[in-house]
Amino acid sequence: MNRIVATGMAVPACVVDNHLLARCMDTSDAWIVQRTGIRERRVSPDTYRMLQGLAEAADKPAFMRAVFDRGLGETIDSTLMVSDLALEAAEMALKNAGLTAEEVDCIVASSTIPDYAYPHTGCVLQGKLGLTSTPAISLQQGCAGFLYALAIADQMMRGGMYRQTLVVGAELISTIFDYTDRGRDMAVLFADGAGAAVLRAEPGPRGVLSSHLHTDGTVMDSLAGEVWGTSTYPPVSRRKIDEDRSRPRMQGRQVFVQAVRRFKEVVRECLAANALGVNDIDRFIFHQANLRILEAVGDALQIPADRLYNNVDRYGNTAAASVPIALHEAVTQGLVREGDLVLLAAFGTGFSWGATLIRW
């Protein structure tokens, strides 16, 4: 079996509460808390600096346009890249595992938006870890990214190819949103962070029991964005903005309904595959999209509230980073203990969704 022997996480130091967002766009703390459960989130220093300027600006659309046009003034280079957050989370996981980076056989990373068009995030991370020949794989799988990465790592290890794998979900997604009224539906939801896990092949009953992955690309337009890279800030061109092709698109209601439906389906599929019921599971660690989605799924599946981990109030939706951050916190808080059955599930752009059952 392949067991998660250690986890790690990283979030930027800059905290953005709902009140700061309400100074930038027509929204309110009450609206955001009621619809999403989010109270604050962490963002890159560049996003934070931009938000402070936007909050003070008299003509906010003009300020935002100028940012997209010319960056933050003196530079268009990001001070923090997604690979930096990935590195911090990875180093914590390695330290917690008592390993050096050289002892990892393979890296599988996922980030919705990479640092560069190429090479990929896992490769940039691998270089920052100082490795010179360890294979690195990257996915751009959105919010389901960590589950896909974990399943790929697990399967490669089951096949005997590797013994120890570093799995990472990292995002610097706050850099892409329009923080004026125009982009408020998405801008209040998403935020930055990274989470990592070390997966090790070991004899015995503990480890990943099964993974269940799905994608429906026919509805991709419900939650989509065109090309960016976080190596520059902002990673969007003027022309794209003028043509309205740069903004992330989301049909919030449809995403909500599909998320609840697919979470329910895939959790049931995972339970059935292992001949288990909801009450057999000690801890459910779901992608932290929105508290209302978590509650709707929890109610429908009759998951006791105290078994459904939730930290969306503090971090918002950190996409691929959300499951490993929640897992790391739950483990650190002693909410996941040896022998526990832990069910991970996620849903995001694509749509792509999945579930993984682990005997901890």
Q: Rounded to an integer, what distance in angstroms lies between the CA atom of residue 293 and that of residue 288?
A: 9
Residue 53, interface with ligand UT7 (CB under 6 A)? no
Interaction of residue 256 with ligand UT7, rule CB under 6 A: yes
352 binds ligand UT7 (CB under 6 A): no
Q: What is the DSSP string of 252-316?
A: HHHHHHHHHHHHHHHHHHHHHHTT--GGG-SEEEE--S-HHHHHHHHHHHT--GGGB---HHHH-
Contact 22/38 with Cβ under 8 angstroms?
A: no
User: Which of residues 3, 41, 120, 184 is near ligand UT7 by CB under 6 A?
Assistant: 184
Q: How far is residue 139's CA from residue 215's CA, in Å, rounded to a whole number?
A: 14
Q: Nearest-CA neighbor of 307 among 338, 285, 291, 329? A: 285
Q: For residues 14 and 293, which CB has a smaller minimum distance to ligand UT7 in the complex?
A: 293
Interface pick for ligand UT7 out of 248, 316, 324, 348 (rule CB under 6 A)? 348
Please list the active-site residues: 143, 287, 317
Shortest Å distance, C-beta 136 to ligand UT7 = 25
252 binds ligand UT7 (CB under 6 A): yes
Is the Cβ of residue 152 or residue 291 nearer to ligand UT7 in the bound state?
291
Site string (2-41) toward ligand UT7, x via CB under 6 A: -------------------------x---x---xx-----
Least Å from the CB of residue 281 to ligand UT7: 22
143 lines the binding site for ligand UT7 (CB under 6 A): yes
- Rounded-to-integer distance, Cα 59 and Cα 133, Å: 51
211 binds ligand UT7 (CB under 6 A): no
* Distance between start and end Cα atoms, the chain: 11
Helical residues (DSSP H) of the chain, grouped into ranges: 18-24, 29-36, 45-56, 60-70, 82-97, 121-128, 145-158, 184-187, 238-242, 252-273, 291-301, 312-315, 322-332
If one asks whether residue 112 binds ligand UT7 (CB under 6 A), the answer comes out as: no
297-336: contacts with ligand UT7 (CB under 6 A): 317
Q: Tell whether residue 165 is a contact of ligand UT7 (CB under 6 A).
A: no
Which C-beta is closer to ligand UT7: that of 200 or that of 262? 262
Q: Smaller CB distance to ligand UT7: residue 39 or 158? A: 39
Q: Kindly indicate which of the ranges 4-12, 71-79, 91-99, 254-262 contains the residues binding ligand UT7, using the contact rule CB under 6 A.
A: 254-262
* Interface with ligand UT7, residue 83, by CB under 6 A: no
For 63-79, letters b (16+ CB in 10 Å) and e give bbbebbeebbeeeeebe
- Beta-carbon contacts of 255 under 8 Å, excluding residues fewer than 6 positions away, are 222, 223, 351
Residue 157 or 223: the one with the smaller Cβ distance to ligand UT7 is: 223
Residue nearest to ligand UT7 (CB): 252
Torsion angle in degrees (nearest 10) through CA of 167, 169, 172, 177: 150
Residues making contact with ligand UT7 (CB under 6 A): 27, 31, 35-36, 143, 184-185, 188-189, 252-253, 255-256, 259, 289-290, 293, 317, 348
